[in-house]
Structure 1
Amino acid sequence: MAGTARRRPAGGGHVGLRGLPARWIDGESGHRDLRMLPVALCLWAAALAARAALPPDGAPGLRGFAAATCVAACTVMLAALHGVSAWLRHVRAGRARPALRCASCLLMCAAAALTGALSTVVALTHEAADPAMRLSHDGPSRATVDFRARAPALRSSSRAAACTVRASTRAVQAAGVRTPSAVDVQALLPEALCMRIVQGGEYRMAGTLARAPWDARTLQLTVARRDTGSALALRPPAPWRRAVHAMQRRFFDVVEGLSDQGRVLVPGLTLGVLGQDALGEGEPVDEVYARRLEEGSRRAGIIHLMAVSGGHYALLVAAATALCSWALMPRWAVACARAAAVAALTAVLVPSESITRAVVMHLFALGYVLLGRRSQTAPLLLWTAIVSIVARPARAADLGFALSCAAVLGIALASGPLAAALRRWLPRTMADALATTLGAQLLTSPLQLLMQPRIALWAVPANLLVAPWMDAATVCGLVAYTVSWCMPRVGFAFAWCASLGTKSVEIAADVFGAEDGSATLAWPSDTVGALRMAAAEILVLLIAVLLRAMARLRDGMPRRRAFASPAPIVRSRLWWRRTAAMLVRLRWRPRTARATGRRRPHGRVGAGSRPPRHRASGGGEGSGP
């Protein structure tokens, strides 16, 4: 009976799978686990489609439309389940597993698309029914708004106000009637009120409610100078919020002693707020220099360094993990330390959608720590995107959130193969830095065209110039931010060290971000332009895959194997190792009389010297007559 037993296919193969699918599954890695990628893309696309299809100011019967969408979603899911089950019953036994994988992927994509569309419709319905949105439906309206500040006050680029604050409404009063409200609002305040705003506090101010000119779904509250006296603080922020506000003010005061590039770049690298956008009591930053530096960084392709993202959290989490490993703590203690580090850093940073992505991703990674497994970047990122968009559908249309997700996904997927290929030609450190830069640029380039209709031609060398100094500058900036409130001189010393690292950003902006047009290439800035860029990148990727396949095929031929030669960097390493080994093993002979052209004198032989040799036959040197 043993002879009739079925054998498992060689190489760990899977029953019912042959050829390329079997090799794909056998080589599956956690960092390249993309099973949730179609699901996340379908959910993201459905949320964007629902947001584009519905009017920004609501429509009659929108709640009925939301209920109809929910019923339609349930109906489609039931029909899909019935159809897939009927399909699997008629599939042959040899192809059951591929069919099951395909069916499960289709079902998950359908469920994700319906979930994204339904959550967006519900969110837009709630937003359109809000009293603040209805009040500004027909145009600007006068109202008294109670709001809660969700971020610190920053300098406004509009001449109508001195600063701007991101907030969420609590109540709206118009015509003597006060109604509850819960929508996001952007408050434009005069200079007298800017320094009174603290993140987390609740305030009541009278002003003009209107829709933003660039987005009909964004609500603005403009407070005039004559309304300054009627502003009230309803509820003070929490004590730890006041402490964070004091730390930020002291940090900005310390940074004012740096040079112009330090005043602009050190707060941007540390908190994600450029120096010209921060509020302070001292002399403001030179506006012309700050704008020139910012535009030069944008043309050079290094403007992303001014936004706080996962780099800060990666450094702090790595430090907490190393400390726990040194103390031999258990896994639950390591998870608690990492969670405390993430929470502490989130409390002191300026909120943004990229920070939200990093926080959710690191909190999900705690599960891997508790299970004792290595974290997997791609699944973590995909689940983070899914949960974040379902919780807040407006993130699907946020470019900051999209750029953060695209950069992390590109680094997770492309940096490994690119680094392995570049190490054949470059040193390891340079190859890893270049692979990370190319991986991030690969998926973010189409999205960057939606903000700027130009392609940064020198983005790769500019990032290579800046990257080696950013980690040290970030650490120095965070230390300066932490100690400036109690030790200003120590904080200034660390801030000055951080400015030495950010000096590379200024150099890269001047060298690779020239204003003569040689640093950028014009490109359409609409959706068609982004799709063209994505198609061009896919074409280049396919050509690279084809060339790699041809190279593997060539190496597999017996005729070509004899002519195969290692890469230049490998040849250089071999040459250096062999040369160094040869120099170490080389034995140097002492200089002899024949080599110097002198005759050794005959006579008494000193101690430790060899006596002269005499030949037995005549005619030679030293022979007798």
Structure 2
Amino acid sequence: MGMRAIATNTPGATHADNQRTKRRNGNNDLRLLPVAITIWAATLATQLAGAQSSANGSNTHSNMLLACCGGCTVMALLAIMYLTHAHPHPQGAAMRMPAIACTLTVICFAALAGTFTTLAWQYRTASDIASRLTANASSTQSHVNFQARSMPVASTTREYDCQVDALTISVESSGLLEPSHIGMRVFMRNEACSTIMQNGTYRAQGRIRTARYGREPVWLETSMAVETVSEPSMFWRALHSMRTAFFTQTSRLDDQGSILVPGVTLGVLGQNIVTPAGQTQVEEQYAQQLQDRCKRAGIMHLMAVSGGHYTLVHKLVMLLCAALGCSRPVKTVALAGAYLCLTAMLPPNESVTRANLMAMIALGYLMLGRRRQSIHLLSLTAIVALLFDPSLAASIGFALSCSAVLGLSLMCRPLSQRLEQHLPATLARAISASICAQAFAMPIQLLMSNEIPIYSLPANLLVAPFVDIATMLGLGALLLAWCAPSIAYALAWASSACTRAIAVAADTFGAGDSSTLPWMEGATGIIMLVIAQLTFYAICMGIRAWVNAYDAWRTGADGKQIRASITQRVIGWFSQTLAMIGDITWASQHRSKR
């Protein structure tokens, strides 16, 4: 359908062979990528237009949005009329249609789908009673029934002790009770924090206000006790007990272990944990210092749970199923159950949403016995996520997760193949993965901080061998903490020994102000960074072309590399040096011969 990706041509193969290889390689299928980008852009533009119209009190942005929708509709209808008129048989028309026309038609429908879905979501949000109260700037105390969607964590505001993301059920204000269904962040005091469990239903009295930041559109601030309407099911109560027992064991570790082990295991840093006994006691100054240094070193992403946890679970389940000789349907069901349990254990956030949805969609490939197609899978994930929850379009966490996966899917394998010519395969794969993920995520990171970590590559290479081990040990401690606390503490301690590498990398590469490069803010900074990245890429491609041309001139052949790789040269140097040392006649040997 118009857009195919890059594939490395096989040396010695004909052009036809390379084209067949490209068609067979599903990882190079980019046809859904423009559709996903269009839906994302349409969804985000619709949200921005609605926000501008609400702020200015005018309909200019709304009229522009409607004009764009009308244009997309007319273009799509004209394309359909052309196809129907020119080709009586639609199936044949689709096959004979030019690729670019087909791509543009699908993009028009994608833009319409993203726009209308977002408009419906905005209308539902604006008509909710909680949104109406914030629009009227009412200071009246309201009674809110809500369902907790996350575990309580330390508050991001100084006025309150903890916060929890929730879904409103009903709001009672001025004696009027109305149903509600909107995301809300609830800020509470210590007394109320100890009563909250994920997926439980509660009733609180407080003031509803517009959110100053974050994904949830409204906040509820309460200083009173929270009443339990209904406790969560036995499954969620068991998970709550497991987490509490796990946090009890990690609190016995040293400061870096208390902070980082929960971070790599559940994505919650130790200083942000709130248990029935209160907030975890960690030295506040050290915790803030460690967090800042991790950001400056470019390794803060290790504390955000994403695809790594699902990859580990996938490998473990597949090894177990292979040992038991399970069929593909059994493997699919086992993986689906493992993914759902893992998602329930992890605190909900945008990166977990992306990783879980992508893993569940990938089960279709396993069920059909086909290899996973990374870019196609990522595009499907973004399309489904944005159509079901348009608020994700404005989420930086979701954008960072998707951009990093896109970089790995597009560039990791070609770059790794190039680096393997000079470096060991394991090191080449680690370097290429780090470079690709950071290159695609860096422009979005500028939206949070206008500083670029200079030493992020060596810092990530230093911690890479230890992160997966620390995560597996941490998950083991989480599963055993409720029934075998001694074993769980031993696993948590071993995990903290691995996370010490993260602390060392943060202290080494993020301690000083010289560890980051100040950059321009806003859209200008993002554009300049993309231009700099493209320029560097063009320079590398130019050097590669010059080296290939030089080799062709030297050999008069097809330009294949004739130089030894770095690894081969190092091995050759050591072998020749040892051989020369072995040939030396030492003084003691000379005297014995005499």
In the superposition, the TM-score normalised over structure 1's length comes to 0.83
Match of 1:188 in 2: 187
Alignment of 1:159-178 (within 5 A): 159-178=158-177
Match of 1:277 in 2: 272
Are the equivalent residues in 2 in contact too, given 1:335–1:370 (CA < 8 A)?
yes
Are the equivalent residues in 2 in contact too, given 1:423–1:569 (CA < 8 A)?
no
Alpha-carbon spacing, 1:71–1:38, altered in 2? closer, same or farther (3 Å): closer
Alignment of 1:457-606 (within 5 A): 457-515=454-512, 517-557=513-553, 559=555, 564-573=562-571, 597=593
Are the equivalent residues in 2 in contact too, given 1:146–1:204 (CA < 8 A)?
yes
Superposition deviation, residue 190 in structure 1: 1.1
Distance in 2, matches of 1:388 and 1:353, equals: 10
Superposition deviation, residue 558 in structure 1: 6.0
1:362 corresponds to 2:344: no
1:250 corresponds to 2:249: no
Alpha-carbon spacing, 1:358–1:88, altered in 2? closer, same or farther (3 Å): same
Alpha-carbon spacing, 1:295–1:288, altered in 2? closer, same or farther (3 Å): same
Larger deviation: 65-74 or 267-276?
65-74
Are the equivalent residues in 2 in contact too, given 1:156–1:163 (CA < 8 A)?
yes
Match of 1:398 among 373, 390, 395: 395
Match of 2:440 in 1: 443
Amino acid corresponding to residue 338 of structure 2 in structure 1: A
Superposition deviation, residue 432 in structure 1: 1.3
SS of the residue aligned with 2:422? Answer: coil
Distance in 2, matches of 1:123 and 1:594, equals: 91
Superposition deviation, residue 13 in structure 1: 3.8
Distance in 2, matches of 1:527 and 1:84, equals: 40
Superposition deviation, residue 365 in structure 1: 1.0
Are the equivalent residues in 1 in contact too, given 2:184–2:216 (CA < 8 A)?
no
Are the equivalent residues in 1 in contact too, given 2:72–2:111 (CA < 8 A)?
no
Alpha-carbon spacing, 1:179–1:296, altered in 2? closer, same or farther (3 Å): same
Long gaps (5+) in structure 1: 1-9, 15-21, 90-95, 587-592, 599-625
Match of 2:122 in 1: 124
Alignment of 1:609-620 (within 5 A): none
1:209 corresponds to 2:205: no
Amino acid corresponding to residue 383 of structure 1 in structure 2: L
Distance in 2, matches of 1:424 and 1:212, equals: 52
Alignment of 1:376-391 (within 5 A): 376-391=373-388
Superposition deviation, residue 60 in structure 1: 9.4
Distance in 2, matches of 1:68 and 1:447, equals: 29
Amino acid corresponding to residue 201 of structure 1 in structure 2: G
Distance in 2, matches of 1:82 and 1:170, equals: 46
Match of 1:113 in 2: 111
Superposition deviation, residue 414 in structure 1: 1.5
Distance in 1, matches of 2:400 and 2:134, equals: 31
Bigger fraction of residues in helix:
2
Match of 2:585 in 1: none
Alpha-carbon spacing, 1:597–1:173, altered in 2? closer, same or farther (3 Å): closer
Larger deviation: 256-265 or 32-41?
32-41
Distance in 2, matches of 1:119 and 1:212, equals: 23
Distance in 2, matches of 1:145 and 1:133, equals: 13
Superposition deviation, residue 46 in structure 1: 1.0
Amino acid corresponding to residue 247 of structure 1 in structure 2: M
Larger deviation: 486-495 or 518-527?
518-527
Match of 1:326 among 307, 323, 328: 323
Superposition deviation, residue 140 in structure 1: 4.0
Match of 2:297 in 1: 300
Post-superposition CA distance 1:438-492 (Å, at most 9, x none): 0110100001110011000000000011111011100000000000011111100
Alpha-carbon spacing, 1:597–1:191, altered in 2? closer, same or farther (3 Å): closer
Alpha-carbon spacing, 1:141–1:60, altered in 2? closer, same or farther (3 Å): farther
1:30 corresponds to 2:18: no
SS of the residue aligned with 1:166? Answer: strand
Alignment of 1:1-16 (within 5 A): 11=14, 13=16
Distance in 1, matches of 2:568 and 2:101, equals: 47
Are the equivalent residues in 2 in contact too, given 1:451–1:525 (CA < 8 A)?
no
Alpha-carbon spacing, 1:197–1:556, altered in 2? closer, same or farther (3 Å): same
Alpha-carbon spacing, 1:104–1:545, altered in 2? closer, same or farther (3 Å): farther
Match of 1:52 in 2: 48
Match of 2:151 in 1: 152
Match of 2:262 among 267, 271, 280: 267
Post-superposition CA distance 1:362-404 (Å, at most 9, x none): 1111111112122121111111011101110000110111111
Superposition deviation, residue 574 in structure 1: 5.7
1:135 corresponds to 2:130: no
Are the equivalent residues in 2 in contact too, given 1:88–1:100 (CA < 8 A)?
no
Alpha-carbon spacing, 1:446–1:568, altered in 2? closer, same or farther (3 Å): same
Post-superposition CA distance 1:318-352 (Å, at most 9, x none): 11011111222111111111111111111111111
Alpha-carbon spacing, 1:596–1:161, altered in 2? closer, same or farther (3 Å): closer
Alpha-carbon spacing, 1:24–1:13, altered in 2? closer, same or farther (3 Å): closer
Match of 1:454 among 451, 454, 459: 451
**How many corresponding residue pairs?**
562
Alpha-carbon spacing, 1:98–1:577, altered in 2? closer, same or farther (3 Å): farther
Are the equivalent residues in 2 in contact too, given 1:88–1:99 (CA < 8 A)?
no
SS of the residue aligned with 1:185? Answer: strand
Amino acid corresponding to residue 260 of structure 1 in structure 2: D
Amino acid corresponding to residue 340 of structure 2 in structure 1: A
Superposition deviation, residue 595 in structure 1: 10
Distance in 1, matches of 2:236 and 2:67, equals: 43
Alpha-carbon spacing, 1:340–1:236, altered in 2? closer, same or farther (3 Å): same
Distance in 2, matches of 1:384 and 1:522, equals: 34
Are the equivalent residues in 2 in contact too, given 1:57–1:133 (CA < 8 A)?
no
Superposition deviation, residue 42 in structure 1: 1.2
Long gaps (5+) in structure 2: 1-12, 89-93, 583-588
Match of 2:78 in 1: 79
Distance in 2, matches of 1:265 and 1:546, equals: 43
SS of the residue aligned with 1:55? Answer: helix
Superposition deviation, residue 559 in structure 1: 4.7
SS of the residue aligned with 1:54? Answer: helix
Superposition deviation, residue 549 in structure 1: 3.1
Distance in 1, matches of 2:231 and 2:53, equals: 33
Quote the RMSD (CA, aligned, Å). Answer: 3.1
Match of 2:197 in 1: 198
Alpha-carbon spacing, 1:321–1:56, altered in 2? closer, same or farther (3 Å): farther
- Highest CA radius of gyration, 1 or 2? 1
SS of the residue aligned with 2:494? Answer: helix
